[in-house]
Chain A
Amino acid sequence: MADARVRPLIELAKWRTREFLRQPEAMFWVFAFPILLAFALGIAFQNRGAQTVHVVVEQGLNADALVETLIAAGGIEASVLAADEAQNALRTGRVPLVVVPGETLVFRYDSTREESLLARLVTNDALQRAEGRSDVRAVRNLGTSEPGARYIDFLIPGLLGLNIMGTGMWGVGFSIVRTRTQKLLKRFVATPMRKSHFLLGYMLSRLVFLVAEVAALVAFGHFVFGVPVRGSILALSVVSLLGALAFAGIGVLVASRAQTIEGVSGMMNLVMVPMWVLSGVFFSAAAFPDAMQPVIQALPLTALNDALRAVLLDGASLFALTGWLAILALWCVGSFGVALKIFRWS
């Protein structure tokens, strides 16, 4: 009877699901935390309309006239400060640039600060134009703040990938080791339970929560910050599923020999922390040197994040995702294969 054969699997998955649902702190980390993080970062990096540059003019001859000129140019906030105060403001980073009036204007700024360089260019441009300089080449400015190109649009898929990694690794790896330290694993092995059912039960219950956690974060990004969902739900589901399976596999692998909770926690962090940094969660993985790129691109979280961004932001079809999906599938099969070989059942 097919029903009787899958019953242990269903019961094991029910066990995992119940343990998770009955643990409020786990629910917090899986559902609330990523949304809070997305909210905080979304607010912090919100686009505040057109950017303005703050400039200070040192007290002196014609200082007030300079301020007026700068303000009239647009996009610049300027004020007059006494010499020592102006110097102080520059030194502590409160203003990026100080203009010292005189026959020859002096720009004081920190040449290693991007903001200062920008302020110098804008200020210089405004003052030269006011004195009659004109452009020799016609340009047209088209500013953009379209959904899909903002930081929050970059961030939400990254957080989604991060969450799938975290819940997969912790949810599977951590609780397998707990089962082992509680001698429950040994007790299960003393029954006719199939070992494959034990591991599959973990996967199955993971999938239940996967649907909920992906839906929650994507919906939050979409309705609160207008993050686009341009690809199909099918493509999003396939990417999330394969990502979750890859990290569940890595979770099983990390847990396969560990005898203590401390041991597995250390291993988890060893595996996950490099990917937080390297895999393009908070900033693009392209920021790292070319020599590192082959390694970075082969990491499961990089593949997952890139695929998620392609689906959500670019509306990529499943076909266009083949490369990333292949990387995730390889991680899944490879880690499971090795884990099953070395798994410690007692």
Chain B
Amino acid sequence: MSTPAVNCKGLVKRYGDVVAVDGLDLEIRVGECFGLLGPNGAGKTTTVEILQGLLPPDAGSVEVLGMRWENQERSLRERMGTQLQDTQLPDKLSVVEVLTLFRSFYRAGRPVEDVIDMVQLREKRDVWVKNLSGGQRQRLSVACSLVSDPEILFLDEPTTGLDPQSRHQLWRIIGDFRAGGGTILLTTHHMEEAERLCDRVAVIDHGKVIAQGSPRALIESLGAEHVVQFALANGDSIDHATLGSLPGVERVSAVDGRTQLTVMHVHEAVPALMTLLQQRRAELSELTTHHATLEDVFISLTGRHLRDG
């Protein structure tokens, strides 16, 4: 088997009494897009910063592209690209000036003008950073990581806070990089993003990997394709054993005062649920159904929503 793009074992990072990363193992293959999925504060950023050699771990080993930070930092930095959360690029430099600055740090790489086209900032080439929109700024930030023509790209929450259109533009850039054979590690708490972009994801909670696999496989692990979520008026509830015996119901869980059924077929489960509620004279205050997503995987694993943290 070829050397993995990223291989880390037993990663631990503490901040005082708080354990941010708690014995984390990851193996990312060359050429895949790998997602770290988890709520805010799960340890995603700490993990990617350790993997990028920006934070020393308290324990554990890290290898990127078969190299170690301790003795091959410079050659590693030449070959990776990075986009950090909350970096403010120089306000009063133009797009081309920022990219030229970043390009100068690397011995080899792509011409700046090519990168400008890749991220669709051609018309903004000579505009100052402070006059760019949020989405354009984020594209520029990713562009700064592309000037080195990297083998691996670390993206920390690249689309957080962006409008849907800007998000799609970034997804396209990431997709292009992936199609060119690059490896990507991205963190997100946006499940649609992970499902759309990632070949595999690791779900992280409290500094540990709690599930890992392709988005498809993780959703299938729920054992059913759909989620029916409902709430009763007056805060009534129905015991989970009864609900679990309804046709096609694979799993029952309670989240935020609502009850969630993971079901094989909505057209079987919902009528049965209605009949049950009628018998019990329970009044429905809310009912929704959707295709199972990674969010549901997270909920079924932790009983919490991704966004709640």
Cβ of A4 within 8 Å of any chain B Cβ, yes or no, is yes
Closest 3 pairs (CB-CB, A-B): A182-B88, A11-B104, A192-B77
Among B54, B101, B104, B106, residue most surrounded by chain A Cβ atoms (within 10 Å):
B104
Using CB atoms and an 8 Å cutoff, list the residues of chain A in contact with chain B. Answer: 4, 7-8, 10-12, 14-15, 18-19, 22-23, 182-184, 186-193, 346
Which B residue sits closest to A21, measured CB to CB?
B92
Q: CA of A193 to CA of B78 in the docked complex: distance in angstroms? A: 9
Known: A18-B97, A184-B88. 7 other contacts (CB 8 A): A4-B107, A8-B104, A22-B92, A184-B89, A189-B54, A191-B148, A346-B55
Contact of A187 among B87, B92, B106 (CB under 8 A): B87
Which residues of the other chain, B, contact A7 by a CB distance below 8 angstroms? 104
Using CB atoms and an 8 Å cutoff, list the residues of chain B in contact with chain A. Answer: 52-55, 74, 77-78, 82, 84-93, 97, 100-102, 104-107, 144, 148
A183 pairs with B78, CB closer than 8 A: no
A346 pairs with B107, CB closer than 8 A: no
B104 pairs with A192, CB closer than 8 A: no
Q: CA of A192 to CA of B103 in the docked complex: distance in angstroms? A: 10
| Distance from B46 Cβ to chain A, minimum over Cβ atoms (Å) | 13
Which residues of the other chain, A, contact B102 by a CB distance below 8 angstroms? 191
Contact of A18 among B55, B78, B92, B104 (CB under 8 A): B92
B104 pairs with A190, CB closer than 8 A: no
Which residues of the other chain, A, contact B55 by a CB distance below 8 angstroms? 346
A190 pairs with B88, CB closer than 8 A: no
Which residues of the other chain, A, contact B104 by a CB distance below 8 angstroms? 7-8, 10-12
Main secondary structure of the interface of B (DSSP, over half): loop
Q: CA of A11 to CA of B104 in the docked complex: distance in angstroms? A: 7
| Distance from A184 Cβ to chain B, minimum over Cβ atoms (Å) | 6
Which residues of the other chain, B, contact A189 by a CB distance below 8 angstroms? 54
Which residues of the other chain, A, contact B144 by a CB distance below 8 angstroms? 187
Which residues of the other chain, A, contact B86 by a CB distance below 8 angstroms? 183
A190 pairs with B52, CB closer than 8 A: yes
Which residues of the other chain, B, contact A19 by a CB distance below 8 angstroms? 90-93
Among A7, A184, A186, A188, residue most surrounded by chain B Cβ atoms (within 10 Å):
A186
Contact of A11 among B84, B85, B88, B100 (CB under 8 A): B100
A15 pairs with B84, CB closer than 8 A: no
Which residues of the other chain, A, contact B82 by a CB distance below 8 angstroms? 187, 190-191
Which residues of the other chain, B, contact A187 by a CB distance below 8 angstroms? 82, 84, 87, 144
| Distance from A180 Cβ to chain B, minimum over Cβ atoms (Å) | 11
Which B residue sits closest to A10, measured CB to CB?
B104
Which A residue sits closest to B91, measured CB to CB?
A19
List 19 A–B pairs whose Cβ atoms lie within 8 Å, in order of A's numbering: A8-B105, A11-B104, A12-B101, A15-B90, A15-B93, A18-B92, A18-B93, A19-B91, A22-B92, A183-B85, A183-B86, A183-B87, A184-B88, A186-B54, A186-B84, A190-B82, A190-B84, A192-B78, A346-B55
| Distance from A14 Cβ to chain B, minimum over Cβ atoms (Å) | 8
A346 pairs with B77, CB closer than 8 A: no
Which residues of the other chain, B, contact A184 by a CB distance below 8 angstroms? 87-90
Which A residue sits closest to B75, measured CB to CB?
A192
Q: CA of A190 to CA of B8 in the docked complex: distance in angstroms? A: 19
Which B residue sits closest to A183, measured CB to CB?
B87
Q: CA of A345 to CA of B70 in the docked complex: distance in angstroms? A: 17
Which residues of the other chain, A, contact B78 by a CB distance below 8 angstroms? 192
Which A residue sits closest to B144, measured CB to CB?
A187
Which residues of the other chain, B, contact A14 by a CB distance below 8 angstroms? 97, 101
A191 pairs with B106, CB closer than 8 A: yes
Which residues of the other chain, B, contact A8 by a CB distance below 8 angstroms? 104-105
Q: CA of A136 to CA of B83 in the docked complex: distance in angstroms? A: 90
Among B77, B84, B89, B101, residue most surrounded by chain A Cβ atoms (within 10 Å):
B101
